[in-house]
Amino acid sequence: MLGEAVSPVGRTRTAPAPDMLPRRLKLAVASCQHWEFGHYAAHRHIAQAAPDLVAFLGDYIYEWGPYQLQHPARAIRTSESFTLDQYRARYAQYKTDRDLQAAHHAAPWIVTWDDHEVANDYAGDIDERLSSDFAARRAAAYQAFYEHMPLRLPPLRAGLKSMRMYQRYDWGRLARFHVLDDRQYRSPLACPKPGRGGSNVVLARACAELRDPRRTMLGEEQEAWLVQGLSTSRARWNILAQQTPLAQSSGVPVRSAEDGRFWTDGWDGYPLARRRLLDTLVNSGAGNPLVLAGDVHTFYASELRRDFTRPVSKANPVLAPEFCGTSVTSSSRPQARTQENVERNPHMLYGRSDRRGYMLLEITPETSQVHFMALDDVRDARSGQARLASFALDNRSVRIARA
Ligand SMILES: [Fe+2]
């Protein structure tokens, strides 16, 4: 309550003491909630599931302007966000949704951001239009994010040039969350279209930048922070809560390290930085790494390995499981193309892009379960849901089993 304004009562959770081993953690994972593409029924189901924590992996808002939808599910906004007032208005709009409010009332949230909290496909201080005033726009977007999202950050400073988002959360000794920021410090996207800064789809052999070891996704400081967080972790499960899939996703068959056709905005655009991250996971000795991702509006279950171009072997073992959640509302591609993708990329065990929803994880000291939860119809605010697929993890193995 502040003055005459009364907030509804929500529920939070206090994390277990550092030396406790809780018997169970229920975690909901969501991302990508483009307003015009549907209703937030996924959030109503998240609230009803009564999770201990919600992890939101980016694209909480979409900054862009009028969207050319023939049959939008909800009112279309008319202008793209550039200024602080415009970003604030967008959060205000999104947060009017009762189901989104319910998910915030149900549990504490762990959040990171992706590009659309600021601008499509931005990388560090460069946007896809190569705008000279992008720094001011980014500062406005960061401030609006800070003002509207549940964050554990120091007080806001005026004229925000940067904002440290990456952080750790411990759930007793059961789980340590390493929450990453893959936008603020990344190198410019590789091999963009002429005169542009955004993403592209390139043949690996035609883009030498992909093989430049100086290119980074997390930045040097965050990489060092992650090494430290993993190597000091006593947690049973080390959960990487981050934006976009690590699993390689080639648009053509891959027979050698020079092969492949990749979208440059994801980890496929930063393959050597990805390899450093995977090496860190292994060399740190951290228990049971578990990678979460969003961004691509598709459910994926994948087994990560150091060299995606070679089969699993003693020299090229599975290093960690990765689960990518679909979008809350944002649109995706037809399932037939996703199925082709799964067949072309053998480390992908499952892919489903024709359904919207979220992930539900049940983590216990010995085993964990991951459920892909799908809405019947994203255009229906009262939509029911169904469990599309479930996977089981055992703390003595990094392999994924169908449950
Ligand atoms: Fe998205």
DSSP string, 334-351: -HHHHHHHHHH-TTEEEE
Ligand 1 center from residue 236 Cα (angstroms): 30
pLDDT at position 79 is 87
pLDDT one-digit tens code per residue, 116-125? 999 999 999 9
Residue 5: both structure tokens together: 């304004």
Ligand 1 center from residue 193 Cα (angstroms): 21
Ligand 1 center from residue 244 Cα (angstroms): 10
Q: What is the mean pLDDT of residues 176-192?
A: 98
Q: What is the mean pLDDT of residues 244-263?
A: 93
Ligand 1 center from residue 296 Cα (angstroms): 6
DSSP string, 106-154: HS-EEE---STTT-TT-BTTB-TT--TTHHHHHHHHHHHHHHHS----P
Ligand 1 center from residue 226 Cα (angstroms): 25
Ligand 1 center from residue 59 Cα (angstroms): 5
**Positive or negative: CA dihedral 81, 182, 165, 148:** positive
pLDDT at position 293 is 98
What's the start-to-end Cα distance of the chain, in Å?
A: 45
Contact criterion met (CB below 8 Å) for 337 and 353: yes
Ligand 1 center from residue 350 Cα (angstroms): 20
Ligand 1 center from residue 116 Cα (angstroms): 7
CA 144 – CA 236 distance, rounded (Å):
35
Contact criterion met (CB below 8 Å) for 334 and 364: no
pLDDT one-digit tens code per residue, 59-90? 999 998 876 677 788 887 778 999 999 999 99
Neighbours of 146 (CB within 10 A): 16
pLDDT one-digit tens code per residue, 94-133? 999 999 999 999 999 999 999 999 999 999 999 999 999 9
Ligand 1 center from residue 161 Cα (angstroms): 24
Residues comprising the chain, all counted: 403
pLDDT at position 157 is 75
Containing 41, the helix (H) or strand (E) segment is: helix 41-49
Ligand 1 center from residue 235 Cα (angstroms): 30
Q: Which residues contact 230 (CB under 8 A, 6 or more apart)?
A: 178, 238, 280, 281, 284, 286, 289
pLDDT one-digit tens code per residue, 154-173? 887 766 788 999 999 999 99
CATH number of 26-402, picked from 2.40.50.1040, 3.60.21.70, 3.30.300.30, 3.40.50.880: 3.60.21.70
Ligand 1 center from residue 233 Cα (angstroms): 31
pLDDT one-digit tens code per residue, 284-304? 999 999 999 999 999 999 999
List the chain domain ranges: 26-402
